[in-house]
Amino acid sequence: MQGLGATQAKQRELRAERAMEVQALLAAGESVQQIATRLGSTVVNLSAQMYRAKRPDLGRPFTREISRARRAAEVLAREARQRARRAR
C-alpha cells in the first residue's frame, strides 16, 4: 500500500503544479484556448483538471468557454435546420 500513497501524493503534486501554471497564464491575460494549446491539452480537460486540483476558481473560466462554445454550436445547428426547411 506504500506505493499507492506515493502515487496519490505525486498526482496531487502534479495537479498543484498544473494549477499554478494555469493561474499564471490566466493572470498574464492568456485566453483559455491559448492556455489549452500552450499546455498541450483541451479546454474540457483543463477544466476537469482544475476541479480535481480543488481549484474551482481556475476551472470556471474553462467551464464558461465550454458553455459558450456549446451554445454557439446549438445556434449554428438551429440556423442550418431552418435554412434546410426553407430550401424544401
**pLDDT tens digits, 15-54:** 999 999 999 999 999 999 999 999 999 999 999 999 999 9
Neighbours of 41 (CB within 10 A): 17
Helix ranges, 1-88 (H): 2-27, 32-38, 43-52, 56-87
In which residue are the cell numbers 445547428 written?
77
Per-residue pLDDT at 88: 83
**CA dist., res. 57 & res. 26, Å (int):** 11
Per-residue pLDDT at 1: 47
- pTM for this structure? 0.79
For 61-86, the pLDDT digits (tens) are: 999 999 999 999 999 999 999 999 99
Please report which confidence band the pLDDT of residue 5 belongs to, taking 50, 70 and 90 as the band edges: confident
Per-residue pLDDT at 2: 57
Locate the domains of the chain by residue range.
2-87
